[in-house]
Chains A and B, each alone.
Chain A
Amino acid sequence: MDGNVEDFTETDKSERAANMAEMIKVDCRNIDVFYDDKQAIFDISLAIQDRAVTSFIGPSGCGKSTFLRCMNRMNDTIESAKVTGKIFMDGADINDHSIDPVLLRSRVGMVFQKPNPFPKSIYDNIAYGPRIHGLAGSKSELDEIVESSLRKAGLWDEVKDRLPAPGTGLSGGQQQRLCIARAIAVSPEVILMDEPCSALDPIATARIEELIDELRERYCIVIVTHSMQQAARVSQRTAFFHLGKLVEYGDTERIFTNPEDTRTQDYITGRFG
């Protein structure tokens, strides 16, 4: 039933609310994004479930990263970008004037394509977010946050003896897990991942995927990926984007086994992209 977009948006609201109210974390409605005069996203509406991994797939330039960045208002930092439409997180409009993007981003963490640790110590990388948000009252509390974040990111055992060492000295996969730990440290509710494994080797990728699977229990995770295998492995829901439009959105299993749209089928079977 939750097949393509039309079905989804036209679903009777009360029915949808009954089925998914508790589970929906982020509800995007009629999102358009323009870069100057060029429209990058065309009227996309999409609801993202809590405590699940949602993956965005699609060919390069289809707008999946742009759409992802709408959810923590990172597009605000691009001068030419203009976003219209509404995004609700737990029922609150995140584009509302009363919401400070700084606070929003502390609730919606982000992990980027290239591991981008701060050129500081491992400890400071994690501690930076809690420090600026005032999450820790004392040094011991901060230590605790650092340790638990690193544990959740599965990095603690590897780095516990060298916390003062620079974060940039870690391997690529470790750096990316450090970035995940950094995002976790400010206790977000949503974690956005923009192709987090595209710069990593297969072994590091496997570790990150395991980690994503573990984090699913606590967070709402949205991941943009170019690898369909990855989307199939880690996500419960999958959205297929093409040329700035949402083509199909539904349970991962169904998208990959029984896509309704021919474009989705062509993409999944590798005919384009």
Chain B
Amino acid sequence: MNSPVPPSSEQGTFVTDAALKRLKKRHAAESRFKLYGQLAIGIAIVALVTLLASIFMQASSAFTRHVLTFDTTLEASYVTPEGERDPEKIARNVSGFNLLLQDELSDQFLPEDPGLSLQRELYGLFTRLAVLPLARKTADTPSNIGTQQSFSVALADDIDLYLKGGITRRKAVNLGQAGAVSGSMDDGFNITLGKAEPLQSALDKFREDEATPTALIQIGSTWFRMTGLDGNTASLEYIAGTPQAPVSGADVSGLALEQAQDNRTVTDRQIAWTMLLEDEGRVKSVPNTTLFTNSDSTYPELAGTAAAIVGSLLTMLVCAMLAIPVGIFAAVYLEEFAVKNRVTDLIEVNINNLAAVPSIVFGLLGAAVFINFMGLPRSVPLVGGLVLGLLVLPTVIIASRAALKSVPPSIRTAALGVGASKTQAVFHHVLPLAAPGILTGSIIGMARALGETAPLLLIGMVAFVAEVPDSPTDESTVLPVLIYKWSTGAERAWEPQTAAAIIVLLVFLVLMNLIAIILRRRFERRW
């Protein structure tokens, strides 16, 4: 084999012009390709960081919540109107506890005979069901009835959101000391402000954004709404707090709000009452443990993920019990034992196609087969797990087959060579070597199942579930469906709540992947 003789000009040297040119081109192509790769990774990282950052930023406000503390006697007349101390009745007597707290607030803030709309406004500070924990606690320790107790009640979601800086933009300003005061409680007051400048500029700034700003004025423990500002003279209207006319010389502070109360879900009075309660030190920010201990609720401040977490775990359990053994045995049979012919080819193609079938189709199948035909109950983790098991089965089979394929054939021949039967060769040597890959594939399949929503909607796991399920045949929901449901909630407070639930789901996914990594490491170390 003689190589062609190079032309005489190129003989004896590597660095001809043409060669250098080609080399330069090749190097350029190489660095270009590297750059493309780095760009791709950069885009992926930016996308991931943006996603996580936005979720965490949205969710951050859901990890604390505001509660209103009370230091009140649990009057028996409210708590046990019929005189019986039956724990069940006490626990269910939500309206009694509600009335107790409502009367306590109204004693503090409302005049005699306030009228219904004013009462409703005040009682909107917390929702009816917020007293449920208190009712249950009292039912457990009936001896507390009639004694003075300290306890806290979750503030309504909108109030909570307002305290976290939501609902409307605002700016607190110091307005100096009150000057001349004229007017009466009924007709409103005109007062001269020490310095109106900061308030005026704050309102102007909000107006620039085409909002309809308003201002609340606090003098001592009395709150007024400002109805007009003319130079240094402000027209005020009493809304909440001690009904006391402003006196000249008192310190005046203002709160400029971007939106007038018609445009927001929290009224001026509710803001004033909340600020008064905060001044008393009765509004506290506490870690939002209800997110993990409570089940779903129609009120965002009371809603939690407990039932969905347990439901997800039960569903995963059923799913794993179906998909992993069936998947592994199918893969082992197809890869190690099955004769290669048209039938096995057909099966293989179908398994690959099955992995690409939209998940909602599996939901239809589950509804038709498990619920309609087999008569299993709706909305239960058993059916959800079966559907998800079928959904991830192809993934598990494909991953397991890939893992089995990656075991070098020399291991099989070695085992057969010393007289092992085919089954022995597979179970003693091939399967243990493929185990890390199979496990990883299975867990990643499970992780996919954990995040599935669509098929579960079709088998009714979207039902409202307020009780933590005890068994796979109890009505239940799962985390992704809960997220879907919360995300469609009308109240603004669902937004951070949804983000928080997403974080809970992500934590579970990360945990599962972590388990996959640990298991793989452990099994690999054995060899």
Contact = CB atoms under 8 A, between A and B. Distances in A.
B433 interface: yes
B419 A74 contact: no
A112 B416 contact: no
A133 B429 contact: no
B417 A110 contact: yes
Contact of B418 (A79, A168, A182): A182
B293 interface: no
B403 to A, nearest CB: 14
A120 B527 contact: yes
A168 B433 CA distance: 14
> Chain B interface mostly helix, strand, loop or mixed?
helix
A69 to B, nearest CB: 10
A105 B424 contact: no
B339 interface: yes
Contacts of B411: 116, 118-119
B369 interface: no
Given A79-B339, A166-B527, A114 B419 contact: no
B413 A105 contact: no
Interface in A94-151: 102-106, 109-112, 114, 116-120, 128-129, 132-133
A72 interface: yes
Given A120-B527, A179-B414, A102 B421 contact: yes
A116 B418 contact: no
Contact of B417 (A103, A120, A166, A183): A183
B429 A74 contact: no
B428 interface: yes
B25 interface: no
Given A116-B410, A118-B429, A72 B340 contact: no
Interface in B278-311: none
B418 A74 contact: no
Contact of A72 (B415, B417, B421, B433): B417
Contact of A133 (B339, B419, B422): B419
Given A120-B527, A128-B428, A166-B527, A186 B413 contact: no
Contact of B419 (A106, A118, A166, A168): A106
A36 B421 CA distance: 24
B416 A105 contact: yes
A118 B417 contact: no
Given A129-B418, A132-B419, A132-B420, A119 B433 contact: yes
Interface residues of B, number: 21
Interface in A29-87: 72, 74, 77, 79
Nearest to B408: A116
A186 B416 contact: no
A103 B419 contact: yes
A112 B410 contact: yes
Given A119-B527, A120-B527, A114 B410 contact: yes
Q: Which of B339, B420, B421 is packed against the most chain A CB atoms within 10 Å?
A: B420
A113 B476 CA distance: 59
Contacts of A72: 417
Nearest to B418: A129
Contacts of A168: 527
Given A116-B410, A116-B411, A109 B527 contact: no
A109 B413 CA distance: 11
B420 A102 contact: yes
Contacts of B421: 102
Nearest to B524: A119
A105 B527 contact: no
A196 to B, nearest CB: 12
Contacts of B417: 72, 74, 105, 109-112, 183
Contacts of A128: 415, 418, 420, 428
Contacts of B428: 128, 132
Contacts of A114: 410
A112 B414 contact: yes
A114 B433 CA distance: 19
B65 to A, nearest CB: 54
A97 B339 CA distance: 20
Contacts of A77: 412-413, 416, 422
5 contacts: A128-B420, A129-B418, A132-B428, A166-B527, A179-B414
**9 closest pairs, A vs B, by CB?**
A106-B419, A116-B410, A129-B418, A110-B417, A119-B527, A105-B419, A116-B414, A102-B421, A102-B419
Interface of B: 339-340, 408, 410-422, 424, 428-429, 433, 527
Given A118-B415, A166-B527, 4 more contacts: A102-B421, A116-B411, A119-B527, A133-B419
